[in-house]
Amino acid sequence: MDRPSPQLLAAERGVVVQSFDFRVEFAARTAAGSRNPTNQDALLCRPDLGLFAIADGMGGHAAGEVAAALALSVLEAELARDAAKRVVRRYGREPTVERRADVFALLRASVGEANRAVRRQGESSSGQRGMGTTLDAVLLARDRAFVAHVGDSRIYLLRGPQELRLTSDHRSADFSIRKSGRQVTSHHARGALSRSVGHAAELVPDTLSVDLASDDRLLLCTDGAFAPFNGSPEIWASARFGEIDVIAAGLLDAAQAIDRTDDASVLAIGVRERFVSRATDAAPRARDLAIVEACPLLSGVGTSATLATLAAALEIEVDCDEALPSELGGDRFAYIVLDGKFAVADGRTMGPSALLMAESLVDVACRDVTPRALERGRLLRIRHEDFVRAHAHDHALAAQLYQRLARHLAQTRVAH
């Protein structure tokens, strides 16, 4: 049976988003697939809240459509509350680690409410029992995108000629492969969902944030929009140039030309000119990701896990000959070097990607000589308590990090 042509659900340009430093443009498109009697994808565009989201429902007799729409409706209502707006405004005024943590907590709580609503609805109707949905949300604040992710829809960041996949699929196959440091890219490797909205009483989404700059583009896609490409770089051929609605349409049309069986949706967000001038957020920059991902602690865990781990990291600058304290006010700190050179124990010199004072992450006092800057440099400072909190909701990630940390500490001791 022929399916309707892709629909343009929303498109705006030059929009001012409250508490966000850039004008934005966005476009949302969706197309029904031949496999389902109804389109079970749902999209949400609330630029006044800085909120954009996408959901891919699951369940027979249109139950997936109900689950996706309900999840986005509850998410929208939660983030439209005055208390939620205050959290975002406070972060916009002063982007401290603590206020950034408040934004993450707000996102987790909102997704939790959506999960409970979908479960209640499913339990109240036999025809909707067992329904669920994926959920990906972007909340724009100051100069960052805060992300909440559940399921196997995806969010990509396009910056110049590069693209970053910000999310990891919550599928059993993806989980087993992620543990070995690789990522699922092929459609045939995809297994059953290991996490979705509506399927478990307690749900904790992946949360992360990434800095944004003019001309960046964020793409939120259900699997019907990216899976047909089977990992091919052709997925980006239609997303490089043109107005944002053309980009959304081009990506969706290209996917449907390959495979029209599944519902497919794209929500494209373009970051335009910056119109607010103020101090930058002291958090990891996207341009530093390659350096950070080469750090012994984070090598091989993937971009989304790296960003999640660094949610509580603080970027600092030090002058030449300045010492790095391992303790301040009873708190212990470790450091990842972004720029510069630092003298450490035994006369060694450490540069970008080095992990300094790693013992602090397990709340152990450092025995080495305090590192000292040999030139002006930048580092990410990670407090022990913030490190624990950043991965407290993801036990699999925590296990990976502590394994890497133990290996690094052992190798460091042997080298000494």
pLDDT tens readout for residues 363-410: 888 776 689 999 988 888 888 887 887 777 788 888 989 999 999 888
What pLDDT was estimated at residue 184?
A: 38
What pLDDT was estimated at residue 189?
A: 45
Q: Which of 232, 221, 66 is nearest to 151 (CA)?
A: 221
Phi-psi region of 340 (alpha: psi -120 to 50; beta: other; left: phi over 0): left
What pLDDT was estimated at residue 187?
A: 39
Contacts of 104 (CB under 8 A, 6+ apart): 146, 207, 209, 311
What pLDDT was estimated at residue 2?
A: 53
Q: How many contiguous H segments (helices) and E segments (strands) does the chain have?
A: 10, 20
Structural domains present in the chain? 7-274 (3.60.40.10), 286-415 (2.60.120.10)
Q: Does the pTM exceed 0.85?
A: no
What pLDDT was estimated at residue 149?
A: 95
What pLDDT was estimated at residue 176?
A: 39
Q: Which parts of the chain register pLDDT below 70? A: 1-5, 61, 161, 173-191, 238, 240, 278-287, 312, 328-329, 368-369, 413-416
b (16+ CB within 10 A) / e for 169-207: bbbebbbebbeeeebbeeeebbeebbbbbbbeeebbbbb
- The alpha carbon of residue 312 and the mean position of all alpha carbons in its chain are separated, in whole angstroms, by 14
What pLDDT was estimated at residue 333?
A: 87
What pLDDT was estimated at residue 397?
A: 85
What pLDDT was estimated at residue 415?
A: 57
What pLDDT was estimated at residue 378?
A: 87
